[in-house]
Structure 1
């Protein structure tokens, strides 16, 4: 994902795809902090962006909860205290060295006595300049953002809260709130406590949890297809900024038709577009529409669009294998053809005013056989954008290998474990995979991963995946297609 990197109090801060965060927050609250190491005095920070209807109108609401009280006295924490790996353990060690009998008893009886002594020593409350801070406010004059500050849970949690009108909110407001949150953290610890640290604020926990091809795919994960990705990004921007569209009297696309050979990633691109918009993803499959009983298919398609008109959250509706639903409209006189004709006719009517009835909905249809779809059904005004998704060329295949391998490394390399050797030649892989699609390349990697996993299971070890093993898997896949 695209991100903005800046520094605050010596820390490196990355804010990942702020526009998408704000768009997604219109639908559901978005948590921005997933894993982070905070300085002494702060043991957890939660930052949430959500949407609310208030007496002043619809608002984006930013909330940060900084847990600055005592950490729970778990068994692991008590053991760490005794072994000197915890700040409390270090303090107790010093007191033992000085002959303090209370500290000695703490270490001798780690159970309930440890927790009681932890409180007795006055270490269960935040320390630092802000420890006794009264409710007040932080402010960022640059964007005019003000955060109200108060305490919760008996003072153990410092809460910051800001509201910005939904029609006025920008990525700068989100950045300002993140900065105010870090300002509060420094006041609860020490001025230089953040120096040298790195914090990521994003919708998803880094690193990316899975390679391209999953439900969590983003446009940044798409290899090759530079022109297609650029066009989808523009569509996402038009969806996320209705105020700019209205100001110019512009109408964003209501429907998108993606067509091309099987395995080129049309469904994956649809999911990526939904994530780029911050929209729910609703896939409508052929069995949900076509019904063997007379009139059943027509009722089903009407119900699908009736539901679509009621969606209050941004939603991308995908009609996959579109030709199987509405193919050969206008041809044939048998009952099956008449049913398809009826479905196509209703589809046309429903698409005529869908965007006016519910601007939260965008429709995507994919097909391997565009020639089977009635041209009147996919004319402009119904499907405004037609995108050809071709088989990748040599450079695109190399890029697909790069993105997929990068995703696998991010998802699986941990604790010294390596998946791929240093001899990989992505350009060479792109040449060897001539004629293959993204789905074929994914299958090549799956086969090599399976082979390595079996070696590991049988012998307890396996070398990283080499260039030659990938070339062999490419050749084997060709021989069996």
Structure 2
């Protein structure tokens, strides 16, 4: 089975300064960085005084100094393209608080241990005594200036770290406040390889050891991965990103372009370009239109506001018109980027212009107000983008979704075989990252994802999610009955669940 079709992405594992380091799918990271900056998630705790490490891979036009991944044309022009690796290491001393001083006051001597026991037992006198001493000591500590211990990253000049083996040189600079060490390396795009990325990760860890000590990383484990660092539970719809979407490469690519146009109004203004103010997504139920809308909002960094039919349609005369006016009145006042989703759009404005009954007249009125409000929304508030989704595009009046109101219309089809394979891969990887622990394997090693893609012909992403839910539920019941001795999920069990769902068993 190819690496692209395995549910567990295989990374290169190596050791540095006693730490185990895994770099996942480096070639994919480099390819993705040609289009958008890629942030590598870091799993694990960093040793003091290091508080955080951020690593980003992007692409620039060296000749013109243009960041290709930030919206410039990556195909035109004669400038030389390069991959840029940047690491930002934040370090700082622990603040001297009363609680920290309290720990210092108690110490490990017999009196300290006795006081600790008394405090644990709830003795108010011991607590007040120790807190009083700690507060006084902390105040004196600050007054004497001992809290201004020099930051390890402060007051150093610039320099370089180098990996002679691959010829990678990283410039090292210390930002003004002295709390951040910044590494930057550049490699021509035509020459960059996964080895360069590994070398830069190693140089980043070298900088960490210079701050924290040569043995500070010993026994630790770090994973550098394009995927978001998994939460303790599966990623929810609210947290979904475009990177997590399985299949639909063309749709995802178009949504990325919309996100770039939204995030860079200065580039749009420079060229007199007008980003789309409205997006219509249509396709069969269960193909992920709502999920894609949330992913777009997260890609933009926008708030997500979902408007459903009951918020608009009102049985009282004039109520629906007032509701839609209020929704757009609020939209004009948003001061942060906001994506407004009109889900099941056809149920709000369907058949506009048809019928003479009261319900049809109400829909006509709502549709008419919607047209007026969309005419100048982007001029009234450039922070807002409107997305509408529907399973029945033929039910929506064409005048409502003409260009100028909904500039982009995207068909979200049922996934083909390759896309279904990718959906299985992304979903299973998410479950593995969220639930597998030392000694517990959720899925067996016999999974054949392309075979699952073939077997699930006609299924949507929602159907595949239901297949996995059914198998998880079955395993959980076995686990409950056997006291934790259920075997991992096998290929045969997944195929059985696919057949059962296709037959609606």
Report the TM-score, using the length of structure 2 for normalisation: 0.66
Q: How does 1:260-409 map to 2 (within 5 A)?
A: 260-409=283-432
TM-aligned CA deviation for residue 66 of structure 1: 2.3
2 CA distance for matches of 1:431 and 1:467?
Answer: 13
- Give 1:445's aligned residue: 468
- Give 1:473's aligned residue: 497
| 2:283/2:390 contact within 8 Å kept | yes
| 2:46/2:52 contact within 8 Å kept | no
2 CA distance for matches of 1:304 and 1:145?
Answer: 49
2 CA distance for matches of 1:452 and 1:73?
Answer: 46
The answer to which of 204-213 and 257-266 deviates more is 204-213
1:37 aligned residue (40, 45, 48):
45
2:104 matches 1:106? no
3-state SS of paired residue (2:175): strand
| 1:137/1:148 contact within 8 Å kept | no
| 2:153/2:181 contact within 8 Å kept | no
- Give 2:487's aligned residue: 463
1 CA distance for matches of 2:471 and 2:101?
Answer: 43
1 CA distance for matches of 2:152 and 2:250?
Answer: 54
2 CA distance for matches of 1:444 and 1:217?
Answer: 20
| 1:211/1:404 contact within 8 Å kept | no
2:453 aligned residue (415, 430, 441):
430
Q: How does 1:215-226 map to 2 (within 5 A)?
A: 215-226=238-249
Unaligned ranges ≥5, structure 2: 1-11, 24-28, 55-87, 120-129, 143-147, 160-169, 183-200
- Structure 1 residues 147 and 348: alpha-carbon distance in aligned structure 2, compared to 1, 3 A threshold: same
TM-aligned CA deviation for residue 414 of structure 1: 1.4
2 CA distance for matches of 1:466 and 1:217?
Answer: 27
Unaligned ranges ≥5, structure 1: 23-31, 49-61, 79-102, 151-158, 163-177
2 CA distance for matches of 1:204 and 1:397?
Answer: 19
3-state SS of paired residue (1:220): helix
Q: How does 1:149-298 map to 2 (within 5 A)?
A: 149=177, 189-190=212-213, 193=216, 206-208=229-231, 211=234, 214-298=237-321
Kindly report the root-mean-square deviation, in angstroms, between the aligned alpha carbons of the 2 structures: 4.7
TM-aligned CA deviation for residue 234 of structure 1: 0.8
TM-aligned CA deviation for residue 207 of structure 1: 2.2
TM-aligned CA deviation for residue 479 of structure 1: 1.7
2 CA distance for matches of 1:183 and 1:434?
Answer: 49
| 1:321/1:367 contact within 8 Å kept | yes
2:433 matches 1:410? yes
C-alpha distance after superposition, 1:383-440 (max 9, x if no partner):
0000000001111111111111011111111122111111111111111111111100
3-state SS of paired residue (1:317): strand
C-alpha distance after superposition, 1:210-244 (max 9, x if no partner):
55662111111111101000000111111111111
- Give 1:147's aligned residue: 175
- Structure 1 residues 292 and 415: alpha-carbon distance in aligned structure 2, compared to 1, 3 A threshold: same
2 CA distance for matches of 1:138 and 1:338?
Answer: 72
2 CA distance for matches of 1:229 and 1:244?
Answer: 22
TM-aligned CA deviation for residue 35 of structure 1: 6.2
C-alpha distance after superposition, 1:141-179 (max 9, x if no partner):
9999873438xxxxxxxx5699xxxxxxxxxxxxxxx99
| 1:44/1:68 contact within 8 Å kept | no
- Structure 1 residues 66 and 451: alpha-carbon distance in aligned structure 2, compared to 1, 3 A threshold: same
C-alpha distance after superposition, 1:328-364 (max 9, x if no partner):
0000001000000000000000000111111110000
- Give 2:81's aligned residue: none
- Structure 1 residues 143 and 266: alpha-carbon distance in aligned structure 2, compared to 1, 3 A threshold: farther
- Structure 1 residues 226 and 368: alpha-carbon distance in aligned structure 2, compared to 1, 3 A threshold: same
C-alpha distance after superposition, 1:282-306 (max 9, x if no partner):
0001000000000000000000001
2 CA distance for matches of 1:302 and 1:314?
Answer: 20
- Structure 1 residues 357 and 109: alpha-carbon distance in aligned structure 2, compared to 1, 3 A threshold: closer
